[in-house]
Amino acid sequence: MSPDKQNIKLSTPVWKQLLSIRRTAPIVFYTMMIYMAAELITVFILPQIIPDHYYLRLYLHEHAIERTEIFLNNEDPFNQSDELLGWQNRPNSQHDNWKVDKYGARTTFTVSKQPTRPIRILFLGSSLINGGPQISVENSISALIEDSVTEAVNFGVMRYSLDQSYLAYREELYEFQPRVLVVELPREPTGGLINQYIPFRHPEAHGMPFLKPRFEINSGRLNLIPLPPRHMFDSLLDNSELLCWLEVHDGYFGKFEEFKKFGILPISRLFWHGYEMIEKKIHFSRGNEEGAALLKKIMTALVEDAAAKNTHIIFLSYPHQADTYIPRWRSLFPDYYGLRIEELSAPGFEIIDCREILRRSGRPAYELYQADMRHMTPIANKLIAVKLKEKISDILSE
């Protein structure tokens, strides 16, 4: 092709080049047009027509649908339904290293509501604080602080948020009469506080597609948004009644709305996943404004409720592996984990920062973190337990 003809071709508008494809390759052209029309219809029209519960069947992993049915039939071997909290550890359940007692707690002794040693410590939080299913009770942080005068009862429940821990203590667990409550602060403690349906916040949580309560701040006070009526959950995949509830009450419902538009066809799904990855890298661990306000309010309420019962609170802040061993690209962004610790320490909350303990140990990541880069190994638990035991001693001697 001569240079003049090549320049003419390069200067031809794109729309004219596309029209030329219609003449030279009509099958390719009309296939492209039909697909583009399908994308537009999928994004702008179908979400207005198709009921949400049909989209939910596409949104949920097949395993999540199966686990939902198992949970609703009360056949989940590790969790059972709870009208207040959404779910609890199933009492006396056991599988490999995972074992809980008749109260659903991980303990090294037979527990009663009346303490059997001078100092009783209660642990509240998620699997981060109960150790997870990969380690034995004896290697959990709670077991590692025990001695002849100290006993520990670990009420950590998989995927609990701080609001559930607060509710559990306020309504039930205060009866165990602890002198100290050790309460987990996860890497990003705000997101769970605006969430009700776990798969909207954690789509990967196929094994625990559960509902939880949450709080909102109304006229400066905490107002409980309870679990929706049970019949809504029972008919989750058959009608959209529950989804209408979640649209109002779940701060992550927008993620489901995005899926309805961009998660169905491959090209829009590809761009959507790309956007999601970038958004996560930019906003990792930063939290959100509503959740941040709730976090401080719930922490304050928990401290005040415990103080009224002569119980002290220690918050145990758990970092992700990427917060402890910061990747090079992360140095371009603020240290949101560290900033949150500073912000929460200012009002006087008693916080132990596990990141500093792990860093000072000088040990490599593979010795301190399990494969998921979130849960701690027995080595890390021992390091944290030493610092926690010192803090408990200081508080009780004041």
Task: Note down pLDDT in tens along the chain; length 398 residues.
Answer: 555 444 444 566 766 666 677 677 778 778 888 988 999 999 999 999 999 999 999 999 999 999 999 999 999 999 999 999 999 999 999 988 999 999 999 999 999 999 999 999 999 999 999 999 999 999 999 999 999 999 999 999 999 999 999 999 999 999 999 999 999 999 889 989 999 999 999 999 999 999 999 999 999 999 999 999 999 999 999 999 999 999 999 999 999 999 999 999 998 989 888 888 777 665 554 556 788 899 999 999 999 999 999 999 999 999 999 999 988 877 777 888 999 999 999 889 999 999 999 999 999 999 999 999 999 999 999 999 999 999 999 999 97
Q: Which two tokens stand for residue 166?
A: 């607060």
136 CB-contact burial (10 Å; exposed 0-12 / middle 13-18 / buried 19+):
middle
At residue 286, the pLDDT reads 52
Cα–Cα–Cα angle for 242, 214, 54, rounded to 5 degrees: 20
- Helix spans in the chain (H): 3-10, 14-24, 26-44, 46-49, 52-59, 62-72, 127-130, 141-144, 162-171, 198-201, 230-234, 241-249, 253-262, 266-283, 289-307, 321-324, 336-345, 354-361, 365-368, 378-397
For residues 225, 226, 228 and 229, what is the CA-based torsion angle, rounded to 10 degrees? -140
pLDDT for 17: 67
Dist CA 312 CA 370 (whole Å): 30
Specify the pLDDT at position 25.
77
Distance CA 388, CA 376 (A): 15
Q: Quick one: pLDDT at residue 31?
A: 84
Can you give the pLDDT at residue 280?
A: 67
β strands within 107-179, DSSP E: 119-124, 150-154
Residues 6+ apart with CB under 8 A from 154: 105, 106, 107, 122, 123, 129, 130, 131, 137, 140, 142, 143
Closest CA to 232 of 217, 249, 215, 216: 249
